[in-house]
Chain A
């Protein structure tokens, strides 16, 4: 029987190899030292925040925390490609992106310390707060994009979730409508190879996660998620398409979760140290630092100064966070509704103002 084949291919892009050597020509922005330093600084700041958050949790001063160790290039790469017109719809592991978008360290500490005021961002007020129910944020991005299309607002929605999240129906349902309605949504998968204890192969027999886009009629690509230049470049490309009315795209960022799933997890129960050490060779900070040193005269002093600055900022934010008194109990109900109905109003009396 004569047949026709609808073949597909999934491209994977990268600009820097593991030791920071360019693979071919760098994109224009990546030849600018200031831009590279900004990206590097953001990743270092993210990692500094990360280790402080873990330390605070270990000493009972923060709630359960999801580390982004080793995945900083994804958050920073994604957010640095976005503008104020875009809306970020994050998972719970993209601290780097949130920081770049203007969420403050204090707000991040407050949130992970169990205080909802940490979600009341002073800047980038259009962004969603982190999403704890895995994959349930994907439909929000479709809705944000629909609102943009309907109101003629510029920009796109950028939604991030993990490899595990691609096994959920919400992921497919959202990507499907984005294809069907040609909505401006960039789907980003932080494929850190693990969903708590379940490895990437345990989620799906699909060879790539990016190819899941094909079923929805939108393009899907892979990128080296430890290469911040490559991440920014591909997200920029996806955003340009989306803004031009060409619809959504799925980007699978290949990375690795160097830390435990959260501070409540012990990854030694399910994975070998050797696997983790191997991935330390591929992590995103070293390669960009090497590149800065080799190409842009980044010195030891520059490095030291950056580390000191990040540390100082994080310590100052920690102090502010720790000195912030909890809200009064009535804050549980204050913003439940625009205007408290009678039964909620009665609760104010019950808890008092303390």
Chain B
């Protein structure tokens, strides 16, 4: 079985989806001969040709809106926004059209499109290249928002996103693109959307995280185990819709919860998860829920970036704090 990095797994999934469905096409900035600035589409232009892998003009609102039109008329566009910092012009199309088309035509026109974008911090990128914008997108009804955390899950979730009959925003933690590799078999098997992954079962504490934060959360889980704290570790993966059942079941078992995200604290998805637990699992809770999140500030440029990013130490601190509560 091949050892793939996340970027390779994404490329493998794209290639697979294009092989199996001639309606799948890719477009975006520099996705063609250049293979995308992160090389997610490397070789696809050469293999599938210039009509199925298209370099668009530099035109984000167009990219999203054209995807809507194409999806409504029989294609399965996988559009790329070069960096999540440039996703804002697409919000109009995502919120006003992609997410609403099926509903406002009562099922007559649909929008099976995927909008991919490299996402998050941690690679010392230029300004405007490192923001975490998932909450903004997750607030849009009718849209699915997915963030993978490993090569294998990136492969399976991207296949699922492309095959899904509704629009999906697929945010790829660029910090994880090449940081590790793992065995990924190109079986064409998708992973379920709308389902969180329980990465490790434990009894004392639930940690919910996603994307690049899974790395720190996994590391924290190992270190906490050494001091006898058993963690139920959940990779949320699909951020909208949230798999509330899995989180609730876990917290009903452990009674304690730490939520980790890279995005700023206020109005982040941690707030939603935390509110959901307060509403549904109050009697199971043994300690206040704790959020480990980015600061409520502008994403710092590369010199201060490390200070912004939640890391293993922050997660362990929060976990201990929650465990010590009585």
A interface residues (Cβ-Cβ under 8 A, vs B): 87, 89, 116-117, 119-121, 125-126, 128-129, 132-133, 136, 138-151, 153, 157, 169-170, 173-174, 176-177, 180-181, 331, 334-338, 341-344
B66-92 interface (Cβ within 8 A of A)? 66-75, 77, 89, 92
Chain B residues with CB under 8 Å of A342's CB are 194, 241, 243-245
* Bound CA–CA A169/B52 (angstroms): 26
Q: Of B75, B97, B102, B104, which is within 8 A of A146 by CB?
A: B75
Q: Of B69, B72, B108, B243, which is within 8 A of A121 by CB?
A: B108
Q: Could you list 11 A-B pairs, sorted by A, with CB under 8 Å?
A: A117-B106, A132-B96, A139-B62, A139-B68, A140-B68, A144-B69, A150-B25, A174-B65, A177-B56, A337-B165, A341-B194
* Bound CA–CA A143/B56 (angstroms): 12
* Bound CA–CA A134/B38 (angstroms): 34
Q: Of B65, B106, B110, B165, which is within 8 A of A139 by CB?
A: B65
Q: How far is the CB of A167 from chain B (nearest CB, A)?
A: 14
Chain A residues with CB under 8 Å of B244's CB are 342-343
Asked if B180 is at the interface (CB within 8 A of a chain A CB), the reply is no
A129, A147, A170: residue with the most chain B Cβ atoms closer than 10 Å: A147
Chain A residues with CB under 8 Å of B65's CB are 136, 138-140, 142-143, 170, 173-174
Given contacts A146-B69, A173-B57, contact A136 B106 (CB under 8 A): no
Contact across chains for A120 and B62 when beta carbons are under 8 A apart: no
* Bound CA–CA A334/B142 (angstroms): 11
Which 7 A-B residue pairings sit nearest by Cβ, starting from the closest?
A: A143-B69, A139-B65, A140-B69, A143-B70, A173-B62, A147-B73, A143-B66
Contact across chains for B66 and A142 when beta carbons are under 8 A apart: yes
Given contacts A143-B72, A157-B69, A336-B142, contact A119 B165 (CB under 8 A): no
Contact across chains for A87 and B108 when beta carbons are under 8 A apart: no
Q: Of A125, A136, A148, A149, which is within 8 A of B97 by CB?
A: A136
Contact across chains for A89 and B69 when beta carbons are under 8 A apart: yes
Contact across chains for A176 and B69 when beta carbons are under 8 A apart: no
Contact across chains for B107 and A335 when beta carbons are under 8 A apart: yes
Q: How far is the CB of B280 from chain A (nearest CB, A)?
A: 11
Q: How far is the CB of A334 from chain B (nearest CB, A)?
A: 8
Q: Of A128, A176, A335, which is within 8 A of B106 by CB?
A: A335
* Bound CA–CA A343/B243 (angstroms): 8
Contact across chains for B166 and A338 when beta carbons are under 8 A apart: yes
Chain A interface SS verdict (over half): helix
B interface residues (Cβ-Cβ under 8 A, vs A): 23, 25, 51-52, 54, 56-57, 59, 61-62, 64-75, 77, 89, 92-93, 96-97, 102-110, 141-142, 164-166, 194, 241-245
Contact across chains for A143 and B67 when beta carbons are under 8 A apart: yes
Given contacts A142-B66, A146-B69, A151-B74, contact A116 B61 (CB under 8 A): no
* Bound CA–CA A140/B73 (angstroms): 10
Chain B residues with CB under 8 Å of A120's CB are 105-108
* Bound CA–CA A141/B68 (angstroms): 9
Chain A residues with CB under 8 Å of B23's CB are 150-151
Q: Of A121, A147, A174, which is within 8 A of B74 by CB?
A: A147
Given contacts A142-B62, A344-B241, contact A128 B72 (CB under 8 A): yes
Q: How far is the CB of B32 from chain A (nearest CB, A)?
A: 12
Chain B residues with CB under 8 Å of A173's CB are 57, 59, 61-62, 65
Q: A140-B69, A173-B65, A336-B102 are in contact. List 14 more A-B contacts (CB 8 A).
A: A129-B109, A133-B92, A139-B65, A142-B66, A143-B77, A144-B69, A145-B69, A149-B51, A170-B65, A177-B56, A177-B59, A180-B57, A334-B106, A334-B107
Q: How far is the CB of B274 from chain A (nearest CB, A)?
A: 16
* Bound CA–CA A116/B106 (angstroms): 7
Contact across chains for B61 and A139 when beta carbons are under 8 A apart: yes
Contact across chains for B92 and A119 when beta carbons are under 8 A apart: no
Chain A residues with CB under 8 Å of B62's CB are 139, 142, 170, 173-174, 176-177
Contact across chains for A133 and B96 when beta carbons are under 8 A apart: yes
Q: In this complex, what residue of B is CB-closest to A340? A: B241
Contact across chains for B74 and A139 when beta carbons are under 8 A apart: no
Contact across chains for B61 and A169 when beta carbons are under 8 A apart: yes
Contact across chains for A143 and B71 when beta carbons are under 8 A apart: yes
Chain B residues with CB under 8 Å of A129's CB are 104-105, 109
Contact across chains for B105 and A146 when beta carbons are under 8 A apart: no
Chain A residues with CB under 8 Å of B89's CB are 169
* Bound CA–CA A131/B244 (angstroms): 35
* Bound CA–CA A337/B142 (angstroms): 7
* Bound CA–CA A148/B69 (angstroms): 11
Q: In this complex, what residue of A is CB-closest to B65? A: A139
Contact across chains for A150 and B69 when beta carbons are under 8 A apart: no
Chain A residues with CB under 8 Å of B67's CB are 143
Given contacts A143-B68, A338-B102, contact A136 B107 (CB under 8 A): no
Q: In this complex, what residue of B is CB-closest to A118? A: B106
Chain B residues with CB under 8 Å of A143's CB are 65-73, 75, 77
* Bound CA–CA A281/B4 (angstroms): 72
